Amino acid sequence: MKKLLSLTVLILIICAIAAGTFLGFRLFEGQAPEITVVKAPQIIGNGGEISVRVRDNQAGIRLVEARVVQGNHRVPLGEKAVSIPSRWTGSPEKEMVLTWQINPRKEGLSPGKATLVISAFDASLRNGSKGNQSIMEIPLNIDYIPPVITVLSTIHNIRVGGSGALSFRLNEPVTMAGVRIDNRFFRAYKGNDGIYRVLFAMPFNVDHPRVVEIEAKDLAGNRSVAGFAYRIFPRRKKEDRINIPDSFLRQKMPGFESRFPEVAAPSLIATFIKVNHLLRKKNNGFLLSLCGKSIGKILFSGKFIRFKGAQKSGFADKRHYFYHGREVDQAYHMGVDIASIAHAKVPAANNGRVVFSDYNGIYGNTIVIDHGMGLMSLYAHLSEMMVHVGQDVQKGQIIGITDSTGLAGGDHLHCGMMLGGVFVNPVEWWDSRWIRDHITYNLYIKPD
């Protein structure tokens, strides 16, 4: 009996020691909480967000607090305290993600360096019941001052439907910079000399833009705008009457219906209207989207070569289409049509890189050449295309042969120019004096 009693006491002592050891390990454990960054921008402008994850798998999380320190200035951002039912059981929160909003200007922080200090305490009874503490310091760069724009070019005369150029400097790195004309943005490119250069366009249907300004946004998201001196001149407006004969419809519409089933209609003239209206819009949209592939430097040199021949249609001419004496449709002609001999050789207007060489609806066989900084030349209605996408071409190099593919009524070349997603008048680019006075001079580059 005594042996049994002694064994029982021994077991109880061992259990007490084990329980005490366990409780001591849980209540007085010495592992501090773990803090990891979830989101922390390197630069904070007028507002920023910082997130961290706090984890403690032992006693659990008791308190997390954050503050920004800049010199002697301390800005508390807030704290998260966990309600603990019993210190004997520890905290029920083993992991949490906390987010703080920082508004430097409102909180009196100055532009420059600062430090975000995050402190986390667990529910351990160590350190006088304060628990184990972890501290993480995250360096911050405060910047709520927008970039300073210094315009370099001085004379900016641009015609509606035409092109312009501008150069400027910025006092800090930026994520975007360029010229905004209403809702269109023309990107500027930074040269090795630190100068930002931009080619921009005045859309043919915008006579009085509401916004014409330089825009830049720095790494902290601060946006800056600056005006510049400019004059806008009206464009010459011309309207043409084009009669659609049945012979043209019989020749062209079946081909469009086979290539593009969506334009098929009960009559050939109804098909023509779909081709001329809906397909034209689709084809133009595709061509203009190619400007997004432009290389960020100038590839062209001097004036652009004008294809030899007689001009048949001008840029942005408004066309009225008549069938059996009745007007059936209208469209704007976004290029210059030039007729030469049948199957004439087509030269590249200037140095560049081919970004498209294929069939494109109403334009037929088409070549598009990138000349850099969003500027592209277009050659349409070809029979042969002698260059391929990605090929570098030189001014005057033969790239194709004229024909009447697409919606053309006869053998000719459709000459187009695009700039930053806008069709522009090619005639300007055929003029060496205009190139010198309006482009190379404003871009601070040496003219030919």
- Per-residue pLDDT tens over the stretch 120-137: 999 888 877 788 999 999
Q: Coil, strand, or helix at residue 110?
A: coil
Tell me how far apart the alpha carbons of residues 123 and 169 are, in angstroms, rounded to a whole number: 56
Please state the rounded mean pLDDT for residues 344-362. 98
Long-range CB contacts for residues 224-229, cutoff 8 Å, separation at least 24: 224/146, 224/147, 224/148, 224/149, 225/149, 225/180, 226/149, 226/151, 226/168, 228/151, 228/153, 228/156, 228/166, 228/168, 229/154, 229/155, 229/156
Confidence at residue 14, expressed as pLDDT on a 0 to 100 scale: 53
| Strand 73-81 to 95-102 pairing | unpaired
Q: Which residue has the higher pLDDT, 46 or 407?
A: 407
pLDDT band at 232 (very low <50, low <70, confident <90, very high): very high
Q: Coil, strand, or helix at residue 246?
A: helix
Tokens of 337: 């049509």
Q: Is the pLDDT score of 209 beyond 90?
A: yes
pLDDT band at 146 (very low <50, low <70, confident <90, very high): very high
Tell me how far apart the alpha carbons of residues 160 and 204 are, in angstroms, rounded to a whole number: 5
User: From 3.40.920.10, 1.10.3720.10, 3.40.50.720, 2.60.40.10, which CATH number describes the 149-233 domain?
Assistant: 2.60.40.10
So what's the architecture of 239-423 in CATH?
Distorted Sandwich (2.70)
User: What is the sign, positive or negative, of the torsion defined by CA atoms of 59, 61, 65, 69?
Assistant: positive
Confidence at residue 129, expressed as pLDDT on a 0 to 100 scale: 76
Please state the rounded mean pLDDT for residues 418-430. 98
Please state the rounded mean pLDDT for residues 21-33. 64
pLDDT band at 20 (very low <50, low <70, confident <90, very high): very low
CATH 2.70.70.10 range(s) for the chain read: 239-423
Confidence at residue 18, expressed as pLDDT on a 0 to 100 scale: 46
Residues 6 or more apart whose CB falls under 8 angstroms from that of 209 comprise: 181, 182, 202, 232
The superfamily in CATH containing domain 30-142 is: C2 domain (2.60.40.150)
User: What is the sign, positive or negative, of the torsion defined by CA atoms of 122, 124, 128, 132?
Assistant: negative
Q: Is the pLDDT score of 414 beyond 60?
A: yes
CATH 2.60.40.10 range(s) for the chain read: 149-233
Confidence at residue 40, expressed as pLDDT on a 0 to 100 scale: 85
Q: Is the pLDDT score of 32 beyond 60?
A: yes
Tokens of 160: 């509606």
Tell me how far apart the alpha carbons of residues 116 and 37 are, in angstroms, rounded to a whole number: 12
Tell me how far apart the alpha carbons of residues 369 and 415 are, in angstroms, rounded to a whole number: 12
Q: Is the pLDDT score of 203 beyond 70?
A: yes
Please state the rounded mean pLDDT for residues 280-289. 97
Q: Is the pLDDT score of 369 beyond 60?
A: yes
Please state the rounded mean pLDDT for residues 359-373. 98
State pTM to two decimals. 0.84
Radius of gyration of the chain (CA): 35
| Strand 317-323 to 239-243 pairing | parallel
Phi, psi angles (nearest 5°) of residue 421: 85, 20
Q: Coil, strand, or helix at residue 177?
A: strand
Q: Is the pLDDT score of 416 beyond 80?
A: yes
Please state the rounded mean pLDDT for residues 259-277. 96
CATH 2.60.40.150 range(s) for the chain read: 30-142
| Strand 112-122 to 61-70 pairing | antiparallel
Type and span of the H or E element at 400:
strand 398-402
- Per-residue pLDDT tens over the stretch 37-47: 999 888 888 88
pLDDT band at 21 (very low <50, low <70, confident <90, very high): very low
Using alpha carbons only, give the angle 412, 418, 420 rounded to the nearest 5 degrees.
170
Q: Where are the beta strands (DSSP E) in 351-391?
A: 352-359, 365-372, 375-385
Mean pLDDT rounded to a whole number for the chain: 92
pLDDT band at 19 (very low <50, low <70, confident <90, very high): very low
Closest listed residue to residue 294, CA positions, set 372, 356, 367, 379 = 372
In the block, tokens 């910025």 appear at 170
Please state the rounded mean pLDDT for residues 50-73. 92
